[in-house]
Amino acid sequence: MSLLKLFSCHLIFTLSVFTLAESANEYYRTRWSRCIYSSSDLSDMVYIDSQYFNKYLFAQFNSTLKKFVGFNEYGMRNAEFWNNDTNFLQEYIAALDTYCKHNAQIWDSAVREKAVKPNVKLSSVTRAGGRHPAVLMCSAYEFYPQHIKVSWLRDGKEVTSDVTSTMEMADGDWYYQIHSELEYTPKSGEKISCVVEHASFNKPMIYDWEPSLPESERNKIAIGSSGLVLGIVLAAAGLIYYKKKLSGRILVPNE
């Protein structure tokens, strides 16, 4: 497993503005360029360039397909035109190396130098009305940068159902937190783990769930055990003292 990394460039163009007596209408054409990868050597990097008109995706270039794809009549016309322009299409194909990989090598190293490892806590929580009797929560705190992946393993296999996760939430101090819940029915001998992938780690970190009593119960047991040990020590000391007193006593026969 590996952390999904992404950097993007947003280019927003205001195509035209029509001002009327009562109102103004604006039309926006937006281009969103994304470079997505998960391997450290960038071998699986994909370049996706999406074209939007008033928030609606109408065409997209994908470096895996090495062509544009249209999603409506307007987009299909443009995609066909761009795909038939050899020079224009080659520029997009080459952008995987000239734009994505070139910048990723710079930005990825810069981010890793400033990355802060998350503090991860794995705990059991109570939630009423669930489909399963047990719920585990995996929480990651105080990490940077924002992008992180939290997943679950059950006996070594990734769990894809009964999992609920929040988005990365800003703490307001440049750090982030995220929480993921796994609802499940416990089985004897099973192993459940939380997997956290982040830019601050060289590899995915695995945190195993170790069932235990609540802290209050553990404290009661600890206090009780301490009292029992103390009682045994005092009883042993009293017995030794009694035997010493008995051995030092001189018996005088009665006449």
Give per-residue pLDDT as tens, 4-36. Answer: 555 554 443 333 333 333 344 567 889 999 998
Whole-number pLDDT of residue 38: 72
155: left (phi over 0), alpha (psi -120 to 50) or beta: left
Q: Count how many domains the chain has.
A: 2
Beta bridge mates, 199: none
Mean pLDDT of 83-101: 95
Give the three-state DSSP class for 116.
strand
Whole-number pLDDT of residue 245: 62
Domain termination residue (choose one: 113, 140, 162) = 113
Name the pTM for this structure. Answer: 0.50
* Domain limits for position 188: 119-208
| Whether 123 and 38 share a structural domain | no
| Whether 78 and 141 share a structural domain | no
CATH number, domain at 145?
2.60.40.10
Number of neighbouring beta carbons within 10 Å of residue 149: 19
Which is more confident, 218 or 109? 109
Q: Using the predicted structure, report yes or no on whether residue 222 has a pLDDT greater than 60.
A: no
157: left (phi over 0), alpha (psi -120 to 50) or beta: beta
Whole-number pLDDT of residue 25: 57
Whole-number pLDDT of residue 209: 94
**pLDDT band, very low/low/confident/very high, at 148 (cuts 50, 70, 90):** very high
